[in-house]
Amino acid sequence: MKSISKNTLDEPVQYLKSVGPKRSESFSKIGINSVRDLLYYFPSRHLDRTTVLNAAKAYGYLMNGYDGELTVIGKVYEKEKKRFGKREILKIQFKDSTGFFECVWFRATKYFYSVFNEGDLFAISSKPEKSKYGALQFIHPDFDRISEEEEKSFLHTGKIIPFYRIPKELRSGNIGDLSLRKIISIAVENYADQIDETLPLEIINENKLIGLTEAIRNYHFPESTEKLNSAKRRFKFEELFYLELLVALRKQNYQAKLAGNKMIIRTTLVQNFLQTLPFELTKAQLKVLSEIKNDLTSNKPMNRLLQGDVGSGKTIVSLIAMLIAIDNGFQAAIIAPTEILADQHAKNISAMMKKLYKHFPEREIKVSLLLGGQKKSEREKRLEEIELQEADIIVGTHALFEEKVKYKNLGLVVIDEQHRFGVRQRAKLQSKGKTPEVLVMSATPIPRTISMTIYGDLDISIIDEMPKHRKPIKTVLRGENRLPEIFKFIIDKTHEGYQTFIVYPLVEESEKLELKAAETFYDTLKKTHLKNLRLGLIHGRMSWQEKEERMLLFLKKEFDVLVSTTVIEVGIDIPDANIILINDAHRFGLSQLHQLRGRVGRSDKQAYCVLVTRDEIVRYNIQQRFDLEYLSSSLIEKYKSAIRLQTMIKTNDGFEIAETDLKLRGPGDIFSTKQSGFPDLKYADIVYDADLLNIAKKIAFDLINKDPSLQMESNLVIRNNLIKHYSDNLQYAKIA
């Protein structure tokens, strides 16, 4: 009977054999309350006999120069604590049937001393080392206790043993490797078959997945390696499928709930504007523009992501979209990530609108800038302009989201985004107009897998072509010892009319020290290598007005060289700045380097990006060809900074760089799913499971297309599971 079996799964773990009140309290500290929770507490890794070596074999591996991790099983033979001055070292000898090996701890020796008891059996996993006396040694290894019984059955029948993470909350509740395995095996034995399937049968069959019960069993206690892999695949699929369902529902909800503005091309405004531009739009710009125009003129609201590399000309495209909105009697807002950028947008757009008015004086387009730091009187005036629709284009930062800002007739919102605007903010802004159309611009290209997930509810337009006549930036890598030559190059180029950015990374934690470091670099350069050039300084401790002042002086060519900490990352246009020298380049992230490089190369002159780093990193780069497809994760980790620099030299293509960055950093680091309102991924990895993501996306979107509110009998499973387990993520995706 279903209702009864449901109840038992939701029973407190306390009632499981060998748990009891004390242990159940420990479980609850790590969020395990019910039997169901326990069934979903999966092993962090597994051990199967094919991956275990005996001590003699492991020693052989070590002597042959093996550089990876390996696992050995042995019995604690002898423990020894040694004191060297203040430091204590713990050394434990282990024994198996073929010989001895030792493990060494330098930290938390007291704790580890208490963990290893003579006669106990452990699986030790780590990179092997050779001790001073030539013995096989592991330093601070991973370890898991196993019982003799487990070892026997393991070795003789080829079973796979699960190892669970045992946080201190469990340890202090007297739950260790052996007891946790026991408790979970009881749970799996008695309850796994009562769990309700969370995927429709059709999807399971079509995708050759295994059922939920079988997957749970095999994730914990796999019958075979194949079964374990099937279990993992099932959970990954399920996770990605539900993620994409939420994406599809959000998109569907947005389009169903809101009717768009159905604009038309009424006058020659846009045409006139195009005539005032000193250049022709690229094919790619025209293509995305027609996609945007389709959205604006249809009655579905636009919700589009415009991607393109730095300098590919997104701003002009968005401005044309704004003009279409204005042509239809609406206001348009553009939101920048920083005040200085908002300010620059406002100035550029005003200048273009003035030019337009001069040539076509039928209609004056008014631009209004709203910033957090404005004087009260100024701000009041802007707010009034916005409320009375005296302003057609409103430029600003987050301040445009505030309650106080009342738009008379907001028809289009352009968000010049750097992954800083979450879905909540987007929704908030959308609530400010009747149904404003939304165009999100991304300065950093977003890898496809990411745009399929956290941006998956947006339609995507890509500008994949740079304006003509623009020469690719020349990027070189140099060791620090070559700085004098580089400075000479900068001086020579200055005489040809070039300007130069010199960037130093923020090394100091404290703002005071940072300021000092920036000033020191600046002073030194001024006194030594660049004493005949005019230098300016810009750093993170300045207010945006100060920064802007300096940038404007640089733009007016009052300086030849601008020394800066990373503040120039935001996109200020300086046409003659065609050299960027990045010091300690190994300290910067890949997309940060690419952003910095994007500051130059905005004219038809040859631009240069000089990456300066430690000599040894330059040497790796000359000797090694790093291919991420074939490198193990530990080598990638080890050579990360060298790989980043090599990528910069190899390519100017922002999308390629974004993909590599994603591989190097992992998705969590770059894109927080939390801020997007989507659940975090526990099982799947967006980089490595991209194929599965593609499949899951297609199935999810087809399904929502056919059954938008999940009413069909066959989709009831999905509906119930969404309500039960994803209620937090449903706020932008109604299924009622």
70 vs 349, beta carbon nearer ligand ADP: 349
Which residue of 166, 281, 517, 717 would you call a contact of ligand ADP, by CB under 6 A?
Answer: 281
- Give the SS3 label for residue 685: coil
Which residue of 261, 282, 475, 621 would you call a contact of ligand ADP, by CB under 6 A?
Answer: 282
Distance in angstroms (rounded) separating the CA atoms of residues 460 and 203: 28
- Sequence-ordered list of residues with C-beta below 8 angstroms from that of 517, at least 6 positions apart, any chain: 504, 507, 508
- For 718, half-sphere exposure in the C-beta direction (CA atoms, 13 angstrom radius) is 28
Tell me if 311 contacts ligand ADP by CB under 6 A: yes
Instruction: From 735, 633, 642, select the one nearest 68 (Cα to Cα).
Output: 633
Residue 260 binds which entry of ligand ADP, Mg ion, none, with Cβ cut-offs from 5 to 8 Å by kind?
Answer: none
271 vs 431, beta carbon nearer ligand ADP: 271
Distance in angstroms (rounded) separating the CA atoms of residues 388 and 88: 74
Instruction: From 117, 66, 165, 139, select the one nearest 682 (Cα to Cα).
Output: 165
| Nearest-approach distance from CB 575 to ligand ADP, in angstroms | 7
Distance in angstroms (rounded) separating the CA atoms of residues 81 and 384: 76
141 vs 308, beta carbon nearer ligand ADP: 308
Residue 125 binds which entry of Mg ion, ligand ADP, none, with Cβ cut-offs from 5 to 8 Å by kind?
Answer: none
| Nearest-approach distance from CB 659 to Mg ion, in angstroms | 21
600 vs 699, beta carbon nearer ligand ADP: 600
Span 565-584, contacts to ligand ADP by CB under 6 A: 571, 573
| Nearest-approach distance from CB 338 to ligand ADP, in angstroms | 14
Q: Closest CB to ligand ADP belongs to which residue? A: 313
Which residue type does 42 have? F
Residue 36 binds which entry of ligand ADP, Mg ion, none, with Cβ cut-offs from 5 to 8 Å by kind?
Answer: none
Residue 436 binds which entry of ligand ADP, Mg ion, none, with Cβ cut-offs from 5 to 8 Å by kind?
Answer: none
Which residue type does 719 have? R
259 vs 351, beta carbon nearer ligand ADP: 351
Tell me if 539 contacts ligand ADP by CB under 6 A: no
Which residue type does 574 have? I
Total number of residues shown for the chain: 736
Provide the 8-state DSSP code for 600. Answer: S
**Which single residue is written with the structure tokens 């629709």?**
389
Backbone angles phi, psi at 707, to 5 degrees: -140, 75
Neighbour order of strands in the sheet with 459-463: 367-370, 393-396, 331-335, 410-417, 437-442, 303-308, 459-463
301 vs 571, beta carbon nearer Mg ion: 571
Q: Measuring CA to CA, how many Å separate 295 from each of 251, 263, 298? A: 14, 9, 5
Which residue of 195, 310, 561, 568 would you call a contact of ligand ADP, by CB under 6 A?
Answer: 310
Q: DSSP readout, 420-477?
A: ---HHHHHHHHTTSSS-EEEEEESS---HHHHTTTTTTSEEEEE--PPTTPPPPEEEE
192 vs 441, beta carbon nearer ligand ADP: 441
Among the candidate windows 23-31, 309-317, 382-390, 616-624, which touches ligand ADP by CB under 6 A?
A: 309-317
Distance in angstroms (rounded) separating the CA atoms of residues 499 and 521: 18
Residue 536 binds which entry of ligand ADP, Mg ion, none, with Cβ cut-offs from 5 to 8 Å by kind?
Answer: none
Strands 410-417 and 437-442: parallel
| Nearest-approach distance from CB 441 to Mg ion, in angstroms | 7
Among the candidate windows 258-266, 279-287, 321-329, 501-509, which touches ligand ADP by CB under 6 A?
A: 279-287
| Nearest-approach distance from CB 314 to Mg ion, in angstroms | 6
Element of type H or E holding 640: helix 633-650
60 vs 472, beta carbon nearer ligand ADP: 472
Tell me if 252 contacts ligand ADP by CB under 6 A: no
308 vs 396, beta carbon nearer ligand ADP: 308
| Nearest-approach distance from CB 573 to Mg ion, in angstroms | 8
Span 446-485, contacts to ligand ADP by CB under 6 A: 467
| Nearest-approach distance from CB 282 to ligand ADP, in angstroms | 5
Instruction: From 338, 403, 405, 337, select the one nearest 368 (Cα to Cα).
Output: 405
Residue 310 binds which entry of ligand ADP, Mg ion, none, with Cβ cut-offs from 5 to 8 Å by kind?
Answer: ligand ADP
Instruction: From 554, 532, 550, select the one nearest 487 (Cα to Cα).
Output: 532
Tell me if 106 contacts ligand ADP by CB under 6 A: no
250 vs 599, beta carbon nearer ligand ADP: 599
Tell me if 337 contacts ligand ADP by CB under 6 A: no
Distance in angstroms (rounded) separating the CA atoms of residues 169 and 23: 10
| Nearest-approach distance from CB 581 to Mg ion, in angstroms | 23
The conformational region for residue 504 under phi > 0 = left, psi -120 to 50 = alpha, else beta, is beta
Q: DSSP readout, 18-50?
A: TTHHHHHHHHHHTT--BHHHHHT---SEEE-GG
Tell me if 316 contacts ligand ADP by CB under 6 A: yes
Rounded to 10°, the helix 633-650/615-623 angle is 90
| Nearest-approach distance from CB 490 to ligand ADP, in angstroms | 23
**Chain contacts with Mg ion (rule: CB under 5 A):** 315, 571
Among the candidate windows 127-135, 276-284, 297-305, 557-565, which touches ligand ADP by CB under 6 A?
A: 276-284
Tell me if 344 contacts ligand ADP by CB under 6 A: no
Other beta carbons within 10 Å of 237: 25
- Show the tokens assigned to 99: 């010989």
Which residue of 232, 314, 493, 539 would you call a contact of ligand ADP, by CB under 6 A?
Answer: 314
Distance in angstroms (rounded) separating the CA atoms of residues 675 and 673: 6
Among the candidate windows 102-110, 220-228, 312-320, 474-482, which touches ligand ADP by CB under 6 A?
A: 312-320
Residue 306 binds which entry of ligand ADP, Mg ion, none, with Cβ cut-offs from 5 to 8 Å by kind?
Answer: none
Tell me if 312 contacts ligand ADP by CB under 6 A: yes
Residue 313 binds which entry of ligand ADP, Mg ion, none, with Cβ cut-offs from 5 to 8 Å by kind?
Answer: ligand ADP
Tell me if 313 contacts ligand ADP by CB under 6 A: yes
Query: What is the torsion angle, in degrees rounded to the nearest 10, for the CA atoms of residue 413, residue 418, residue 419 and residue 420?
Result: -70
Among the candidate windows 294-302, 313-321, 334-342, 705-713, which touches ligand ADP by CB under 6 A?
A: 313-321
Which residue type does 667 have? P
Q: How far from the centroid of its chain's Cα atoms is residue 74's Cα?
A: 41
Residues that bind ligand ADP (CB under 6 A): 279, 281-282, 285, 308, 310-316, 467, 571, 573, 602
